[in-house]
Amino acid sequence: MEDKNALGTAPVGRLMVKLAVPAVTAQLVNALYNIVDRMYIGHMEGVGDLALTGLGVAFPIIMFISALSALAGMGGGSRAAIRMGEGDIAGAEAILGGCTALLLLMSVLSTAVFLTFQRPLLFLFGASENTIGYATGYLTVYLWGTVSVLLSLGLNNFITTQGFSMTSMLTVVIGAVCNIVLDPIFIFGFDMGVAGAAWATIIAQTVSALWVLLFLRGKKTQLKLRLKYLRLKPSVLLPVVAIGISPFIMQSTESLVNISFNSSLRTYGGDVYVGAMTIASSVMQVITMPFMGLAQGAQPIVGFNYGAGNLDRVKKAFRLLFISGVIYSVTAFALVQLFPNIFIAIFNDKPALVEVADRTMHVYFAGLFALGVQFSCQQTFVALGEAKVSLFLALLRKIILLIPLVFILPQFLADKVFAVWLAEPVADICASLTTGIIFFWRFPRILSRREKEIQQQQG
């Protein structure tokens, strides 16, 4: 932003809106990369339902790759914001360079691993002989664009961290517009089907990645991407990974969740139930993206002012994040429960799939109202650099609660499919309640500890 001290001086409410609105917009538009693919694929003549199910089976791998960007991007962005608050610009630039090197390494490794093992993995994740061709057709192409995905998503956090919220929004908007334009051309115009959707996506992500790299090497950025810092230095990256592991787990566990749901639903229901879960998970992705946008809007304010010792501003930023998150989650809950068919119709209109998806949505989203507490509190821990507790809370909802419940509840309920769906709201409510209690117990103590540190430095 134009005034580099605005994070520490501008009115918190106005600043939060300035940072959060573009970040929320960017997250929603980012969701369009995969959502638009599913919208077009789901309406392919004659095979849309099977193609959509195939893409849903490939979705866990796609989510895992996106989550890798959070490991370096959100972890690095949080550490860089604190360094900027302390006045250590060189230290922040070292973090930016190290995270770029880490993103490049992860892109090479993940591309090699998933290209080698994609077919057995997809069968493990719930693919059938009817859907495996669609899953591999999309994923094989998508994997070659992994480096663009990681650089565009990961490095964009460093643009947001500096307060350049409009620029970070444009990163995503430019790529999404490319994807929306190219999808029908490649899928229908060139008759490439699911492979065409993948080509449209990686071309769009490459455009976004180039935009980010040009900005971080340009004149406007405060943190410049310098070649001398482009190395894997443990002293720089270990603290980044310690913070980034929490948002990474929150996003990557979506992969494990999808795998668990798909494999269970294929066992108890069949392809149509896996297709319904693809629709439900797609809607969930769109709904949860603004949570991340709100967090990205608050994170620079919280991290900068925590580092600078402006603790009242930290409290105000969290309060706004918490209230916004709760209002949003309750509103989203009401919309899904009242109008599920509006969301379903975006992806497919076959009566059998629509009927199952309608029942899925009502149960699956029953705990959505509570997620505002989970996201706002957990992401504030990330912004404050509280690695251990944010890691635990990231693990709690998906790994400790949800995935076990997907397999445990069907053992106790006669309606096995309903039991699988029920795991999501039970986990959401329990995790949100636990997170809220832990946060409001620890938050005052964290601020008090920081206040004592500042007094010691001044004394």
> pLDDT averaged over the chain?
87
Helix axis angle, 12-42 to 311-338, nearest 10°: 30
CA distance 377 to 439: 6
Q: What is the pLDDT of residue 70?
A: 87
Nearest alpha-carbon partner for 59 in 313, 364, 277: 277
Q: Which of 70-74, 192-196, 388-392 has the lowest mean pLDDT?
A: 388-392
* Contact assessment for residue 162 and residue 221, using Cβ atoms and an 8 Å cutoff: yes
Is residue 293 predicted with pLDDT exceeding 80? no
Residue ranges covered by each domain of the chain: 9-458
pTM of the model: 0.72
241-257 pLDDT, tens digit each? 988 887 787 778 777 88
Burial of residue 104 (number of CB atoms within 10 Å: 0-12, 13-18, 19+): middle
Token couple for 197: 């959707």
Is residue 426 predicted with pLDDT exceeding 50? yes
Is residue 2 predicted with pLDDT exceeding 50? no
